[in-house]
C-alpha cells in the first residue's frame, strides 16, 4: 500500500524523523488557513501517488495568502501523469543547503535489505541513476543483524556526504531503517533528504509503501487504508473480502487459486481477448462467494462475457455448480458465462449445470480451458 506524502511524513514522525509543520487541504480556503498556521513562506504540494510532482508543476513556493490562493487553485484538479490532484499538503518552507537521497527496500534476490544513498539527491535522481550510477551507493544489510551506527557512518562516508552533514545523515539512516523494519515498509524513501543552512538534516519528501501482510499488527494503518483510491469495483470486492484486481479488458474472470487465475488471464490473452479483472475465489466456491464474485464482475460496464475457470481439488465440482446456479438466480447478469469445470466431481457438476434450466445463451460449458477461453473471447467480441 502506497502512502501519500503527507501520510508518509506522519509515519516518519512516529520514528522521530524530522519533517516540516503543515496540513492537508482540499480547497483553496483550507490551504490558506493551513498556510497561516504553518507560517510563511510555505510550499504547496500536490498529493498524488506518482513521482516527479515538482517537474510537473505540482510543487510551488508561496510567500503570502495571495500566492497560496494562486498555487492551490492551479494545483487542485491538476492532472499529473494521469493522477488528478484532490488534496494538497501545505508546509512551512525550508531553506536548503544540499539535497541528498536515501532509501531502504528489500532486495528479494539477495534476501537482504538494501540501502541506497546519494549526495546527489533531488528531482534529478533518475537522471543520476541512469548517467552517473556510481553516485548512488548501495549497501546490503543482513536483516538478522540490522543496520549498525558504524555501518551507517561508513555508508555516509562512502557516499561522499560532506563532513558537516555526516553525523546527521548517519543518525537519520538509523531512524529511517527503524521505520522500514519496525514500521513494516516495503519502501521507505526520502528524496530530498536536506541539509539546512543551520546544519540540521530534515526529510523534505516522503515515499512510503507499507507491506499489507503486516496490517494485522498495525491498527494505526486503518486511517491510511481509508484513503486508498480504489475504483467502485475494487471497493465492492474489498467489502466482500475477494482477491480482486480490476483491469480494463472485456472478459470477466473467476478462477479458484491465484495461479489458475493468472493462467486464465494468460489464456484469454493468448486467444486474442483481454481480461476485465483478476479474481481468485480461493478454495471454497459456495453460492454466497460465487454470487459476490458475479456481482462484482457484473458491476463492471466493460464486461462482455464471464469466464469461470474451476479446477476442483478440495473444491468439489457439484458444490461449485450449485453455487453458480443459486448465484445466477440472485444476480441478474448482463453478460453470458462460459464455464470450464474440471477436477473433483466435475461430471456431477456439469450435470447440475446442464439440468438447471439455464438457457444456453446465458451459460455454456466447455471441456478445456482453451476451448472455454476461445468461447468467452468470441462472445466478448460479438
Q: Which residues are catalytic?
A: 101, 189
Task: Convert 126-159 into a string of H (helix), E (strand) and C (coil).
Answer: HHHHHHCHHHEEEEEECCCCCCCHHHHHHHHHHC
Concatenating the DSSP letter of every residue in 85-98 gives ---EEEEE----SE
Which H or E run includes 329? helix 317-330
> Burial letters for 156-183: b for 16+ Cβ neighbours within 10 Å, e otherwise?
beebebeeebbebbbbbbbbbbbbbbeb
Does 118 help bind Mn ion (rule: CB under 5 A)?
A: no
Contacting range for Mn ion; rule: CB under 5 A; set: 183-191, 276-284, 329-337, 365-373:
183-191
Beta carbons of 348 and 318 less than 8 angstroms apart: yes
Measured from the CB atom, is 95 or 231 closer to Mn ion? 95
The CB-nearest residue to Mn ion is 205
Q: Which does 315 bind (CB under 5 to 8 A by kind): ligand GDP, Mn ion, none?
A: none
Closest distance of CB 63 from Mn ion, Å: 22
Identify whether the C-beta of residue 237 lies closer than 8 Å to the C-beta of residue 279.
Answer: yes
Closest CB to Mn ion among residues 42, 268: 42
Rounded least distance, CB 112 to ligand GDP, Å: 26
Task: Decide if residue 309 touches Mn ion (CB under 5 A).
Answer: no
Cis peptide before 41 (omega within 30 of 0): yes
Which region among 186-194, 209-217, 286-294, 336-344 touches Mn ion (by CB under 5 A)?
A: 186-194
Q: Say which entry of Mn ion, ligand GDP, none residue 322 contacts (CB below 5 to 8 A, set by partner kind).
A: none
Find all residues with CB under 8 Å of 268, minimum gap 6, and list them. Answer: 249, 251, 253, 274, 275, 307, 373, 376, 377
Q: Closer to ligand GDP at the Cβ: 9 or 374?
A: 9
* 20 belongs to the binding site for Mn ion (CB under 5 A): no
When the beta carbons of 205 and 319 are compared against Mn ion, the nearer one is 205
Region of 59-67, 137-145, 205-213, 287-295 interacting with Mn ion (CB under 5 A): 205-213
Close Cβ partners of 137 (under 8 Å, ≥ 6 residues apart): 116, 117, 118, 155, 158, 159
31 binds, among Mn ion, ligand GDP, none (CB under 5 to 8 A by kind): none
Nearest to 209 by CA among 10, 4, 59: 4
How many other β-carbons are positioned within 10 Å of the β-carbon of residue 19? 21
Task: Provide the grid cell at 225.
Answer: 487504508
Nine cell digits for residue 49 = 501517488
Least distance to ligand GDP from the beta carbon of 9, Å?
A: 10
Residues engaged in binding ligand GDP (CB under 6 A): 43, 45, 51-54, 59, 93-94, 96, 99, 122-123, 191-192, 204-205
Nearer to Mn ion, 11 or 307 (CB): 11
For Mn ion, which residue of 205, 295, 300, 318 counts as binding (CB under 5 A)? 205
Name the binder of 43 from ligand GDP, Mn ion, none, CB < 5-8 A by kind: ligand GDP
The phi, psi pair for 63, rounded to 5°, reads -95, -20
Return the number of the residue (191 or 256) whose C-beta is nearest ligand GDP.
191
* By the rule CB under 5 A, 191 interacts with Mn ion: yes
161 binds, among Mn ion, ligand GDP, none (CB under 5 to 8 A by kind): none
Q: Is 91 in the site for Mn ion (CB under 5 A)?
A: no
Q: What is the largest CA-CA distance in the chain?
A: 80
Instruction: Identify any residues that bridge with 185 across adjacent strands, giving them in sequence order.
Output: 210
Q: How many residues belong to the site for Mn ion (CB under 5 A)?
A: 2
Residue among 121, 127, 123, 126 nearest 102 (CA) = 121
Residue 99 binds Mn ion, judged by CB under 5 A: no
- Which spans of this chain sit near Mn ion (rule: CB under 5 A)? 191, 205
Amino acid at each position: 500500500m502506497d502512502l501519500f506524502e503527507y501520510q508518509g511524513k506522519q509515519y516518519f514522525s512516529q520514528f522521530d524523523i524530522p519533517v516540516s509543520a503543515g496540513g492537508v487541504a482540499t480547497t483553496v480556503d483550507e490551504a490558506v488557513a493551513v498556510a497561516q498556521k504553518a507560517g510563511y513562506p510555505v510550499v504547496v504540494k500536490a498529493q498524488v501517488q506518482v513521482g516527479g510532482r515538482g517537474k510537473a508543476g505540482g510543487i510551488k513556493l508561496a510567500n503570502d495568502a495571495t500566492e497560496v490562493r494562486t498555487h492551490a487553485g492551479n494545483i487542485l484538479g491538476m492532472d499529473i501523469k494521469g493522477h488528478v490532484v484532490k488534496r494538497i499538503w501545505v508546509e512551512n518552507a525550508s531553506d536548503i543547503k544540499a539535497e541528498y537521497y536515501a532509501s531502504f527496500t528489500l532486495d528479494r534476490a539477495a534476501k537482504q535489505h538494501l540501502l541506497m544513498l546519494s549526495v546527489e539527491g533531488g528531482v534529478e535522481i533518475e537522471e543520476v541513476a541512469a548517467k552517473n550510477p556510481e553516485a548512488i551507493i548501495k549497501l546490503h544489510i543482513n536483516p538478522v543483524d540490522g543496520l549498525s551506527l558504524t555501518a551507517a557512518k561508513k555508508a555516509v562516508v562512502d557516499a561522499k556526504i560532506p563532513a558537516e552533514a555526516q553525523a546527521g545523515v548517519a543518525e537519520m539512516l538509523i531512524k529511517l531503517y527503524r521505520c522500514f523494519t519496525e514500521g513494516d515498509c516495503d519502501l521507505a524513501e526520502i528524496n530530498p533528504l536536506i541539509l539546512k543552512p543551520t546544519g540540521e538534516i530534515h526529510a523534505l519528501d516522503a515515499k512510503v509503501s507499507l507491506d499489507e501482510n503486516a496490517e494485522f499488527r498495525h491498527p494505526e494503518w486503518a486511517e491510511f487504508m481509508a484513503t486508498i483510491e480504489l475504483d467502485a469495483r475494487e471497493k465492492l470486492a474489498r467489502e466482500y473480502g475477494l482477491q480482486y484486481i480490476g483491469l480494463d479488458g472485456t472478459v470477466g474472470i473467476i478462477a479458484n487459486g491465484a495461479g489458475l487465475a493468472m493462467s486464465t488471464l494468460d489464456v484469454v490473452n493468448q486467444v486474442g481477448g483481454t481480461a476485465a479483472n483478476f479474481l481468485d475465489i480461493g478454495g471454497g466456491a459456495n453460492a454466497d462467494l460465487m454470487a459476490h464474485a458475479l456481482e462484482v464482475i457484473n458491476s463492471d460496464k466493460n464486461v462482455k462475457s464471464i469466464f469461470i475457470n474451476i479446477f476442483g481439488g478440495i473444491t468439489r465440482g457439484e458444490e461449485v455448480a450449485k453455487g453458480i446456479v443459486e448465484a445466477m438466480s440472485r444476480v441478474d447478469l448482463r453478460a453470458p458465462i462460459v464455464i470450464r469445470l474440471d477436477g473433483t466431481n466435475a461430471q456431477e457438476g456439469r450435470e447440475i449445470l446442464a439440468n438447471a434450466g439455464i438457457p444456453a445463451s446465458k451459460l455454456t460449458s466447455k471441456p478445456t480451458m482453451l476451448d472455454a477461453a476461445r468461447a468467452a473471447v468470441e462472445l466478448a467480441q460479438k
